[in-house]
Structure 1
Amino acid sequence: MMVKLGILVAVAVFLETVSAASLGVVYTEGGMVEGKNIRIGLFRRMDVFKGIPFADIPGRFEKPKRHPGWDGILKATEYRQRCIQVNLLMSDTRGSEDCLYLNIWVPHGRKVSTGLPVMVWIYGGGFLAGGSMGANFLDNYLYSGQEIADRGNVIVVTLGYRVGTMGFLSTGDSDLPGNYGLWDQHAAIAWVNRNIRSFGGDPDNITIFGESAGGASVSFQTLTPHNKGLFKRAISQSGVALCPWGINKNPRRFAEEVALKVNCPTDQNMAACLKMTDPALLTLAGSLSLSSSPDHPIVWNLFLSPVIDGDFLPDEPSKLFHNAAAVDYIAGVNDMDGHLFTGLDVPSVNSPLLDTPIDDVKRLLASYTKEKGQAGLDNAYSTYTLNWGSNPSKETIKKTVVEIGTDYIFLVPTQAALYLHAANATTGRTYSYLFSQPNRMGGIGRPYPSWMGADHADDLQYVFGKPFSTPLGYWPRHRDVSGYMIAYWTNFAKTGDPNKGESVPVTWPRFTSTEHQYLEINSKMNKNYVGQKMRMRYVHFWSSVLPNLPISFSE
């Protein structure tokens, strides 16, 4: 019996080897490329291409240009350098100006794939940092597309784009118009649209998705008039164009600060001088100040963001949603997205031994509502303390601080974007979610409090299937939530409906202008996790009550 089994296995392996599905050398507009073909299961293989150029080395503060091409076969087997950016400590730079490359994962069954849906990933990092491969731990890259591609049977593409000073510095006029990083993303999406058929993809079924500044970038890509027809669907995770950090309203002021730091004049010669300055010096000059307090929240230090340039963004984002009328759209947030930020502004939030003074709650709200002066603060404070009672617990006060940050920085702008998308949609469908799988660092003896929900960026590990690729680091419940997210995301990429395709635990209803329904995603989800009008009282406060208060001139 064992001998027979051994023969059968040997025959299966032989047959698989003989019929091993691989694209081999692929012809692209720039020339021929060859990736690496790997085995991912019986009769399942995958072609992985790393480091394909989608544009030429960009000119300083210029839009990207098409790549001139290459001779021979380009070996696309290694990630290329990320775009030049500050390191984590903001003390030095890493990366290169030669950074406009993308990576592609193509799954195959017994035959070479054709006509697969395509998912294009745009990374986050506050428009200051990040790379197409993501953080790396022991050669396990965060943004490896392998698990999504394999489990969802889609092609995954990850792209590089300029960040920091090199990607977003702007004088607010034609000298340095800004948005170079957004143009890079657009160039990559256009390259995928033109070339993905050669890799077995369907150019008429492309979904773009991203998180944080990448989620906002996805939102901007749906709103610009330059992407008509290039992609069909979009997913914004924890970031939309309407976020308070999404647009820099006064880019000139920050450009002058950068110029002074690198010894350039701030007159009509500023742009010419900046173009000739060492890229590392320029990058460091645009680094983020990490000092913050309830009176000056860290979210206000994000100066290097997109600008309304009259070209990529011809108007305020809220007035551009007609451009997304035919795009299917998912947008959502993590239930404690603001924790990463408010934990810096109000450090006592993470200390079980320290009380968080009620005064810190007031100071943070005063910062977020400062245009409206005392009336803004009074209204905000009464809204957030309505359920406190006369003697709120230490935990209640700390959670309120996190809720305030989450609402202001992420949740309310995302709801506003969903309203506008649904109101402007013609054929485009709209879906809303709240991700609430608790952070794995929360609990007794751990760095975060036991009441911790999902922090900013907690969703990434699940979307990219880490509980499957590094199983020892996770519990079965984490594999459940990862499987759910990959199924919803890839079903949506295939059909525009997250419920159609791989089986999902709960039917996710559409978000409409009247229903405002959303799905709460976590490992325990069932039909009771479909909700309506997410945090309505707070959304109403930030989007209706506060804007209608008179502006305070006492500042």
Structure 2
Amino acid sequence: SIVAKYLLLLHLFLSRAELGVVYTEGGMVEGQNIRLGYRRHMDVFKGIPFGDIPGRFEKPKPHPGWDGVLKAKEYKPRCLQLNLIMTDTRGSEDCLYLNIWVPHREAVSTNLPVMVWLYGGAFLWGGSMGANFLDNYLYDGQEIADRGDVIVVTLGYRVGALGFLSTGESDLPGNYGLWDQQAAIAWVHRNIRSFGGDPNNITLFGESAGGASVSFQTLTPHNKGMIRRAISQSGVALCPWGVIKNPRRIAEEVALKVDCPTDSRMATCLKMTDPVRLTLAGSVSMENPLLESLVLSAVVDGDFLPDDPSNLYNNTAEIDYIAGVNDMDGHLFTAMDIPSINSMLVDTPIDDLKTLLSSYTKDKGKAGMENAFATYSANWGTNPDRETIKKTAVAIGTDYIFLVPTQAALYLHDKHATTGRTYSYVLSEPNRMGGLVTPYPDWMGADHADDLQYVFGKPFTTPLGYWPRHRDLSRYMIAYWTNFAKTGDPNQGGSAVPAKWPQFQNGGERYLEIRNDMDDSFVHIDMRLRYVYFWTSFLPSLPDPIKSE
């Protein structure tokens, strides 16, 4: 009868696919089930512990577990860290928690690809949920999970002094934040099947210090067999800020700030110091160039990183890898060193560019700076206009801090790959603030962190803040990223893409330029090859200046 049919349809419409209580190694957890549309539900788990409260300057420990059902419905505090203006701290030492988004169609999902997000923030800041504006969290995994039909996991890891302080010795070996990430990856590998995920198809993705973290996690021997694919956005292990060369000097500076001795008693004293004082002592002095201030990051400790990252690429042979940058990634940093580049009405002195270049080439002395300046001013003509000089300043920062090391990482990945595929991109979408408000000039391309909003689907979550073209771009990026997570090929995986993205291969290294109006003509070769050659081959070949006695 019609009534029976109607009741059946009503039942189908109202029935929800949900996981209910999930069994994990620590105990049972219950998340929240949300309805997204007809036959589209999602389970969201927030605040599942993957480690115990970590000991000071120690590797993370397994969580002891819990009785009963853990209600996983709220984000946990971020790890103890400085506030953005570095005058105070926020967060907690009890911070090793992760969040999981599981999409369902008609039935409860099984065997879905898993995407694990590592946040950026210069290894000083950040949280698993990201910045929050009116309860709209930046790293909310819902749009990626729903649009790409993948499980999204975000996690917390220690940052600042508590995450990365090191003496370079076994008493304070460093890399604690990287060990936290590794513990979370291992937890996901062991437990994600209970949430409908495929433990043999885990993709890491991250941006800035998170992109470098992704890179470190693929290079360490401790993740053997756990990572299938990886995406580094604006950051790789080879970036000049990725590994600290002289960690002991930083440890001694922190020790002096918290009244600890700098001799053999230093590590013991630091371990007993109040964590808030330690965190404040790990703040950065805004030096010029700003890059010199980023002093807390990874160290070659003989354990997590047994060797310099450039020598560990054999560990990535079977991992599919995407790495790329934003075309003006360096703007954020260069504008702090040379504020005039943001002013449309003021000239940027050429001497400011030379000062910046000499700080980046200081190992090679005067010859380094002069050759660098000749390389960057080669196509200026006799009388470069104001905009040309400003854009060159941004290009210098972008190349040195992000683009060249990313290209070097792609070369190494491609060279050592057996089954692993390699893909390269540049995002060139103009900044949304460009020309609207200072401090953004109207010639601005994609600044550092501009990619985050598109990858996490913000043009859909907060439509009033964006134009339709931004929704197109967001749709494309989510399609490429989730196709790649499913198949290792960004072009295939069920989501339509606007241009075929070829593999990066030796002999005309190909890359995709990503923008809202892209098509097949956006595939290019040899990204900024002249400048990549300058920084990776020509500059290192110059003789070191003779040390004056």
TM-score tier by shorter-chain length is over 0.9
Q: Show the counterpart of 1:433.
A: 425
Displacement of 1:14? 4.0
Q: Show the counterpart of 2:525.
A: 532
Report if aligned partners of 1:118, 1:201 keep a CA contact under 8 Å in 2.
yes
Displacement of 1:201? 0.2
Q: Show the counterpart of 1:338.
A: 330
Task: Tell me how far apart the structure 1 counterparts of residues 74 and 7 of structure 2 sit (CA, whole Å).
Answer: 32
Task: Tell me how far apart the structure 2 counterparts of residues 553 and 345 of structure 1 sit (CA, whole Å).
Answer: 29
Q: Show the counterpart of 2:546.
A: 553
Displacement of 1:42? 0.7
Report if aligned partners of 1:491, 1:499 keep a CA contact under 8 Å in 2.
yes
Deviation digits for residues 421-465 of structure 1 (CA, Å, limit 9, x no counterpart): 000000000000000111111115543000000000000000000
Structure 1: runs of 5 or more not aligned: none
Displacement of 1:319? 0.3
Equivalent of 1:356 in 340, 348, 363: 348
Q: Show the counterpart of 2:162.
A: 166
Task: Tell me how far apart the structure 1 counterparts of residues 405 and 5 of structure 2 sit (CA, whole Å).
Answer: 58
Q: How does 1:6-45 map to 2 (within 5 A)?
A: 12=9, 14-17=11-14, 19-45=15-41
The reply on whether 1:411 has 2:407 as its aligned counterpart is: no
Displacement of 1:7? 12
Displacement of 1:8? 9.3
Q: Show the counterpart of 1:47.
A: 43
Task: Tell me how far apart the structure 2 counterparts of residues 39 and 480 of structure 1 sit (CA, whole Å).
Answer: 24
Report if aligned partners of 1:373, 1:554 keep a CA contact under 8 Å in 2.
no
The reply on whether 1:384 has 2:381 as its aligned counterpart is: no
Q: Show the counterpart of 1:200.
A: 196
Partner AA of 1:339 in structure 2 = H
Q: How does 1:293-308 map to 2 (within 5 A)?
A: 296-308=288-300
Equivalent of 2:389 in 387, 393, 397: 397
Partner AA of 2:173 in structure 1 = P
Displacement of 1:553? 3.5
Deviation digits for residues 211-267 of structure 1 (CA, Å, limit 9, x no counterpart): 000000000000000000111000000000000000000000000000000000001
Displacement of 1:94? 0.3
Q: How does 1:71-90 map to 2 (within 5 A)?
A: 71-90=67-86
Change (3 A) 1:10 1:289: farther
The reply on whether 1:256 has 2:252 as its aligned counterpart is: yes
Task: Tell me how far apart the structure 2 counterparts of residues 8 and 76 of structure 1 sit (CA, whole Å).
Answer: 38
Q: How does 1:115-514 map to 2 (within 5 A)?
A: 115-290=111-286, 292=287, 296-501=288-493, 502-514=495-507
Task: Tell me how far apart the structure 2 counterparts of residues 386 and 22 of structure 1 sit (CA, whole Å).
Answer: 61
Displacement of 1:510? 0.1
Partner AA of 1:221 in structure 2 = Q
Task: Tell me how far apart the structure 1 counterparts of residues 460 and 183 of structure 2 sit (CA, whole Å).
Answer: 32
- SS state of the match for residue 21, structure 1? coil
Q: Show the counterpart of 1:106.
A: 102
- SS state of the match for residue 450, structure 2? coil
Report if aligned partners of 1:63, 1:184 keep a CA contact under 8 Å in 2.
yes
Deviation digits for residues 349-374 of structure 1 (CA, Å, limit 9, x no counterpart): 00111110011111111110011011
Displacement of 1:289? 1.8
Q: Show the counterpart of 2:57.
A: 61
Displacement of 1:15? 2.3
Structure 2: runs of 5 or more not aligned: none
Displacement of 1:9? 9.1
Task: Tell me how far apart the structure 2 counterparts of residues 408 and 432 of structure 1 sit (CA, whole Å).
Answer: 17
Report if aligned partners of 2:342, 2:438 keep a CA contact under 8 Å in 1.
no
Change (3 A) 1:367 1:197: same
The alignment's C-alpha RMSD in Å is 1.4
- SS state of the match for residue 486, structure 1? helix
Partner AA of 1:451 in structure 2 = W
The reply on whether 1:543 has 2:522 as its aligned counterpart is: no
Task: Tell me how far apart the structure 2 counterparts of residues 161 and 9 of structure 1 sit (CA, whole Å).
Answer: 51
Task: Tell me how far apart the structure 2 counterparts of residues 527 and 470 of structure 1 sit (CA, whole Å).
Answer: 29
- SS state of the match for residue 323, structure 2? strand
Where do 4+ consecutive residues of structure 1 move more than 6 Å?
6-11
Task: Tell me how far apart the structure 2 counterparts of residues 551 and 310 of structure 1 sit (CA, whole Å).
Answer: 28
